[in-house]
Amino acid sequence: MARQRWTSRTVFILAAVGSAVGLGNLWRFPYLAGKYGGGAFLIPYLIALVLVGVPLLMLELAVGQKMQQGAIGSYQKLHPSFVGLGLLALTSSFIIVSYYAVIMAWSLIYLFASFGVPWSDDAEGYFFQEVLQLSDSVNSLGGINWSVLFSLLFIWVLVYFCVWKGTKSVGQIVRYSVPLPVILLGLLLLRAVTLPGFLDGWAMYLNPDWSALLNPEVWTAAFSQVFYTLSLAFGIMIAYGSYKDLDDDIAKDTWITVLLNSGTSLFAGLVVFGVLGYMAGQTGIPLTELAASGPGLAFVVFPQALSLMPWSGIFSVLFFLMLLLLGIDSAFSLAEAVNAAIIDRHRQLSITKISIIVCCAAALAGIIYTTRAGLYFLDLVDHFVTSYNLLLVGIGQSILVGWIYGAEKMRRYINQVSDWKVGKWWNVSVKYLIPSILATLLTAQFSTDLRIPYEDYPAWALSIGWAITILPSLAFLLLLMLNQKQKEA
């Protein structure tokens, strides 16, 4: 069977942008900017984007397009011993999609509740007690929260119908699901700039605090954000690249994706901080406190701000609809990364069948997050996957392409097919900068986690986290050694 193809270049770009633009743009970016020096955060962010983000995205798209395979097959073709690197990337995808869908399930519950704005009296209580029914600690599972579970099932049906015909169904969906949330964001911006106090929010968002640049933590945050926001090291961009033709452009598509994604982040920051500025004025809670709420921003602080406005029901509907639409392209891109790798190996299976298996398996894995201790597990798993597994894959692929396959060889291929030529700086980035920066981040995180147990979770819970990092890494090493032995024999 011939490999699937994107129906057009626009569809490919929409799909790549759809994967990149997600919850990370809406709350993670604004929250980091607020926390780390406002406008000054843009400097490390932009540096990280150019030094690591652009070259790595280009690398993944080029690998997929050149090898015409998903992550496992592509790495294996680059060097047979690296088959395990694909496994490492895809286990991250699988783990992340299983909880990413749960966050979308919460958004769905909020969407249905939006008309009545039931959180107006106590947004925090509504989220933790009503919606999540959160238990006291990770030690008490507290049974299944059925409304979250049903909502999760519904999300999986949606995701399934996005990927069930591969690039064909994805292509039909992204035409709407990518531009629409940006339009909704525009409507929310119009609302924000008609609220008193929005300028105070913007002042905090955009006024640079230059001293922040001296704080190493700011730089770590900028590099991790770039990694996360471009959906790197999940095998997604490799799978998406593999549905392009061998002679399609790479460099220009990379820059377009990066610019659209970061543009959306900046834009989302204006909305979030505009609304927070208003809320600070109404409630007297300092802006710094509101902005520092992190993940709670989407489900506690922002809903509360919405409830303070006139027409709160309508704007709440718009907001949660936007959240769902932002999330869905990221969710199905993760599923698609796994699908692509399975299809490469089992040509006789149809895409529809593989999609059913992958979606059901990920939905089953997600049940743990629908228990009343779900939020604790989600936080724990997210911490380990994004702090370790992703960075390991990033280091692995830069070594594989930069040193083993040859950065110069890959750069020549990229330049052969692209309108905009890529200079030798790309080789330097792939061979030296990316592995050393990522290794530094990894070591820093590791030493922190060894000194301070993450969020004071009990040892049994932390060992689940470590297992998520260590087991796939061991599998990778084992496969590497086995293949090496085989070759020598």
Q: Write out the residues near ligand PHE by the rule CB under 6 A.
A: 19-20, 22-25, 96, 228-229, 231, 234, 236, 330, 333-334
Closest residue by Cα to residue 107 from 371, 365, 370, 299: 299
Are 36 and 333 in contact by the 8 Å Cβ rule? The answer is no
Give residue 387's Cα distance to chain centre: 13
Residue 15 or 123 with smaller CB distance to ligand PHE: 15
Q: How far is the CB of 33 from ligand PHE (least distance, A)?
A: 14
Q: How many CB atoms lie within 10 A of CB 60?
A: 29
Q: How far is the CB of 51 from ligand PHE (least distance, A)?
A: 19
Q: How far is the CB of 122 from ligand PHE (least distance, A)?
A: 28
Q: How far is the CB of 239 from ligand PHE (least distance, A)?
A: 11
Q: How far is the CB of 32 from ligand PHE (least distance, A)?
A: 12
Q: How far is the CB of 97 from ligand PHE (least distance, A)?
A: 8
Composition of the chain by helix, strand, coil, percent to 5 = 80, 0, 20
Please report, to the nearest 10 degrees, the dihedral formed by the alpha carbons of residues 304, 310, 313, 316 taken in order. Answer: -50
Residue type, 156: W
Are 322 and 21 in contact by the 8 Å Cβ rule? The answer is no
Residue type, 183: I
Question: What single DSSP character describes residue 214?
Answer: G
Residue 29 or 278 with smaller CB distance to ligand PHE: 29
The position carrying tokens 């090493």 is: 477
Residue 331 or 422 with smaller CB distance to ligand PHE: 331
Q: Which two tokens stand for residue 91?
A: 């286990």
Enclosing H/E stretch for 330: helix 312-345
Residue 131 or 298 with smaller CB distance to ligand PHE: 298
Residue 164 or 234 with smaller CB distance to ligand PHE: 234
Residue 19 or 469 with smaller CB distance to ligand PHE: 19
Q: DSSP readout, 419-443?
A: SS---THHHHIIIIIHHHHHHHHHH
Q: Which two tokens stand for residue 150?
A: 């049903």
Are 155 and 105 in contact by the 8 Å Cβ rule? The answer is yes
Residue 53 or 435 with smaller CB distance to ligand PHE: 53
Q: How far is the CB of 333 from ligand PHE (least distance, A)?
A: 6
